[in-house]
Amino acid sequence: MDVKIEESWRQQVGEEFDKQYFVSLTHFVREEYLRHQCFPPGRLIFNAFNLCPFEQVKVVIIGQDPYHEMGQAMGLSFSVPQGVMMPPSLINIFKEIEGDIGTPMPADGDLTRWARQGVLLLNATLTVRAHMAGSHQRRGWEEFTDAAIKALSARRDHLVFILWGGYARSKRMLIDPRKHLVLESVHPSPLSANRGGWFGNHHFSCCNAYLEQNGIAPIQW
């Protein structure tokens, strides 16, 4: 695994690469990609960071694991490439956007356009073995992505952290609520969303209102 990460992020979290946990993680991921089909493609493992430099981050949306089926994972939480069928969670995200701010459902689920506007689409675990959800959890990725969240909380101001579901909400302890807006709700997956608490959470309008109040250009969701 070649650690090719955008330079501003290297300055913020580069010290992690020399720690023993990351050395062990690198060995594990290399072996997994050699022996098994894994996602996302190696060049996209750090895609969330490479599309969204540290100083350009406005919003952080925390996911848990990359998609584990063929052609879905692209290194951005919740996103799938153009031409790939949208997963149910992403459909529910777009439904809430339409209900909240009126933006109609897009033709595809590629969220690169969000990333380029300053939305860090960060999965806590950055790789996965094909067809095996959670297979690369607790190997060190979470320590690395926690370090990224802590760096943003400590060294930036007026960010919006969006935490959907119990796992993402557990990351609240890493974020300083005096400096940032933290939005929480149930997960957009049908199992959670249909129980209530997802539709009508107004996270997208709340996010943009907070950004504008602090003189920051809103996101074109």
What is the per-residue pLDDT for 194? 87
User: Is the pTM above the cut of 0.95?
Assistant: yes
3-state class (DSSP) for residue 62? strand
> What's the confidence (pLDDT) of residue 197?
93
Helix axis angle, 203-213 to 88-101, nearest 10°: 60
Average pLDDT of span 18-39: 97
* Residue 40: cis peptide before it, omega within 30 degrees of 0: yes
Write the CB contacts of 20 (distance below 8 Å, at least 6 apart in sequence): none
Take residue 47 and report the two structure tokens written for it: 């895609």
Residue ranges with strand state E in the chain = 38-39, 59-63, 119-123, 128-129, 160-164, 181-185
Q: What is the pLDDT of residues 157-196, one digit of tens each?
A: 999 999 999 999 999 999 999 999 999 999 999 999 988 9
| Mean pLDDT, residues 27-56 | 97
And the tokens for 58?
């406005």
Which pLDDT band holds residue 2 (cuts at 50, 70, 90)? low
Q: Check pLDDT > 90 for residue 1.
A: no
> Could you tell me which residues come within 8 angstroms of residue 7 by beta carbon, excluding any fewer than 6 positions away?
53
The catalytic position among 2, 65, 100, 110 is 65
Taking the C-alpha atoms of residue 204 and residue 22, their distance in angstroms, rounded to an integer, is 34
pLDDT band at residue 120, thresholds of 50, 70 and 90?
A: very high
Q: What gap in Å lies between CA 54 and CA 108, rounded to an integer?
A: 27
Q: What is the mean pLDDT of the chain?
A: 97
- pLDDT band per the 50, 70, 90 thresholds, residue 4: confident
The amino acid occupying position 60 is V
Q: Is 2 a catalytic residue?
A: no
